Structure formats: structure tokens, C-alpha cells
Structure 1
Amino acid sequence: MLTSEQLKEYIQQGLPCDYIDVQGNDGQHFEAVIVSPEFTGKSMVQQHQLVYKALGPRMRDEIHALSMRTFTPETWAKR
């Protein structure tokens, strides 16, 4: 069963993150807050696509649902 900590590691392996928090304990449904400089200048859809790319086939094989909020370092600092 996939843990939120494993999912966090998977994202970090494929995407440089300034901050990441992943919640979810049923092994399939997760919520993530991700702050990455890679998101700068990209739309929300493009930011989410970067996360899906980092997860690769795991998104289809291991993860049933991933709700995410993505931020650039600048927008995160203003929160």
C-alpha cells in the first residue's frame, strides 16, 4: 500500500520542490501542497502536468486520486 510519505518522495525525485506536504492514509486518495520553482510562468494546468509527469505511470497504477494545490515560491511566500 502506498503511503503519503512514499508519494512525497516520488514527487521530489521528479520535481525540485521548495516545500511539499502530502496527506492521505488509505493508500489511494491523497492531497498535496507543492511549492516548486518549476511552476513559475506556468498555468495551473501546466503545473499539475509537471507533477503528473514526475509521478509517471504511478499516477495510473498506484494512485487512485490526487488532489493538489500548486504554488510558485513567490505565490507561496505571499500566503
Structure 2
Amino acid sequence: MPMAAEEIETLIRSAIPDAHVEITDLAGDGDHYSARVVAESFRGMPRVRQHQRVYDALGGRMGGVLHALQLTTALPE
């Protein structure tokens, strides 16, 4: 069963409370998303660690209920 964009956003915001999250359904199938996650709490972290935090927030759903996620992380401007 596909995952709703709102569920992805809720999981990320629960784990990274200061995050601004934008989710886009890339294929319209609820299975391929892009996510842009902007958070001050990423400051000082290498990009790979920022991505790990987001994937950790998804609690192992990557590759299962969530087939593909094109992820971009950033610091607030």
C-alpha cells in the first residue's frame, strides 16, 4: 500500500521538530516522492548525516511502503 505525502511529512516533523518539509508526489502513484527538508538543527552536520536523520525518521519504511524518495536537505537562509 502506498504512503501518503502527509504521513511522510508527519514522520519527518515528529523526528525533526524544527523542519520545514515539502513533499512532492513525482509519479502520482503515492510511491515515488521528492522531499525537501530544511532545518536549523542540520547546522554543523555533513549532508550524509542530514539525510540519515531523515531516513531514520521514516523508521525503516524506505524500500518497503515507500519505494523511492528523492531527498534534498538544507539549512534555513
**CA–CA separation in structure 2 for the residues paired with 1:13 and 1:60:** 21
Structure 1 length as normaliser, TM-score? 0.82
SS of 1:20's equivalent in the other structure is strand
1:25-46 Cα distance to aligned partner (Å, 9 max, x none)? 3121110111112211011111
Aligned-residue offset at 1:2:
1.2
Aligned-residue offset at 1:67:
0.5
Number of aligned residue pairs: 74
Structure 2 length as normaliser, TM-score? 0.84
Aligned-residue offset at 1:69:
0.9
**Structure 2 match to 1:26:** 29
Structure showing the higher helix proportion among its residues? 1
Question: % of aligned pairs identical?
Answer: 35
Structure 1 residue ranges without an equivalent (≥5) = none
State yes or no: 1:35 paired with 2:38: yes
**CA–CA separation in structure 2 for the residues paired with 1:8 and 1:45:** 20
Question: Could you say what the CA RMSD is over the residues aligned between the two structures, in angstroms?
Answer: 1.3
Structure 2 residue ranges without an equivalent (≥5) = none
| Shift >4 Å, 4+ stretches | none
| Letter paired with 2:29 | D
SS of 1:61's equivalent in the other structure is coil
SS of 1:58's equivalent in the other structure is coil
Preserved CA contact (<8 Å) 1:32 1:67: yes
